[in-house]
């Protein structure tokens, strides 16, 4: 059943791509994840993804990217709000997660997880962003992305690659908000994980030690995530202002004649 209803193509807007990559680059130790929102053409079997929801992770075990029913519910509500605002039938179309320091291909666990989502929605899709992979030939960290669905091949579950196109787009406000919330979510995750640790500890020295670690982690978020994001947004603002100036100049030139 899964193989007959597979997706043909996924279009992803450039701003959502940017949010996912920024999210994936926030940590090289854990896998991050989120949900993808947009419109789907059921007849052509094409997904148009134009928004996303960054998810808070409670379980930070490797290769354990599970989405709770509450998170799915929150994302659906977000999709509904966007649908109303934009007057388009927006809904949750898929999920994304990162593979820091490992290949972009889905693991067996990923393919199994994907197949469970497809039983609920046959057009549901998975994106994986591989980050912090050092390319020895070009001496650069490279980013790779794959778009996949699961299908049953005999007794085996396998992955099917889905064609992915990143479409040029300017930043939509709701996607900028996603980027702005990224630091907040990371800080909250850090505070939550320390609170659960602190609850079972009485020893003062251990508490002091843990506090120092918490401070270090928060400073890390500010210097490695918040600062570069601010610099990037400042740079975008500068280039947008430059473009406005150029267009205004062009307008005066044109209205002279």
Could you tell me the smallest distance in angstroms from the CB atom of residue 56 to Zn ion?
18
Residue pointed to by tokens 């419109």: 39
Is residue 31 within 8 Å of residue 65, measured between CB atoms? yes
Closest distance of CB 65 from Zn ion, Å: 6
Residue (40 or 151) nearer to Zn ion, CB: 151
Q: How far is the CB of 71 from Zn ion (least distance, A)?
A: 17
- The C-alpha atoms of residue 163 and residue 181 are separated, in whole angstroms, by 30
Contact pattern for Zn ion over residues 105 through 124, marking x by CB under 5 A? --x--x--------------
Which has the closest alpha carbon to 26: 178, 192, 214?
Answer: 178
By CB under 5 A, tell whether 131 contacts Zn ion.
no
The residue (of 38 and 126) whose beta carbon lies closer to Zn ion is 126
For residue 67, the Cα-to-chain-centroid distance in whole angstroms is: 13
Q: Which residues of 188-204 are buried (b: 16+ CB within 10 A; e: fewer)?
A: ebbeeebeeeeeeeeee
| Cβ closest to Zn ion, residue 62 vs residue 89 | 62
Residue nearest to Zn ion (CB): 110
127 phi and psi angles, rounded to 5 deg? -120, 140
Give the nearest distance from C-beta 106 to Zn ion in angstroms: 6
CB nearer Zn ion, residue 48 or residue 151: 151
Stretch that binds Zn ion, among 12-20, 37-45, 79-87, 100-108 (CB under 5 A): 100-108
Size of the site for Zn ion (CB under 5 A): 2
CA distance 157 to 165: 25
Q: Which residues bind Zn ion (CB under 5 A)?
A: 107, 110
């Amino acid at each position: 059943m899964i193989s007959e209803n597979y997706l043909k193509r996924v279009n992803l807007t450039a701003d959502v791509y940017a949010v996912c990559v920024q999210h994936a680059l926030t940590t090289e130790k854990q896998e991050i994840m989120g949900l993808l929102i947009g419109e789907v053409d059921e007849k052509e079997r094409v997904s148009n993804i134009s928004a996303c929801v960054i998810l808070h992770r409670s379980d930070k075990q490797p290769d354990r990217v599970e989405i709770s029913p509450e998170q799915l519910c929150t994302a659906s509500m977000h999709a509904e709000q966007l649908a109303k605002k934009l007057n388009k039938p927006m809904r949750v179309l898929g999920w994304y997660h990162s593979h820091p320091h490992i290949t972009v291909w889905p693991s067996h666990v990923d393919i199994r997880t994907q197949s469970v989502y497809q039983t609920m929605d046959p057009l549901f899709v998975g994106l994986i962003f591989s980050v912090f992979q050092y390319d020895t030939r070009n001496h650069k960290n490279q980013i790779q992305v794959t778009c996949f669905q699961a299908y049953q091949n005999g007794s085996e579950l396998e992955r099917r690659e889905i064609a992915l196109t990143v479409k040029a787009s300017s930043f939509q406000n709701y996607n900028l908000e996603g980027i702005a919330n990224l630091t907040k979510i990371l800080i909250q995750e850090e505070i939550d994980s320390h609170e659960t640790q602190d609850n079972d500890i009485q020893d003062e020295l251990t508490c002091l030690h843990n506090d120092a670690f918490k401070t270090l982690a928060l400073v890390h978020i500010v210097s490695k995530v918040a600062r570069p994001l601010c610099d990037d947004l400042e740079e975008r603002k500068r280039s947008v202002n430059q473009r406005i100036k150029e267009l205004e100049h062009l307008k005066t030139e044109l209205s002279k004649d």
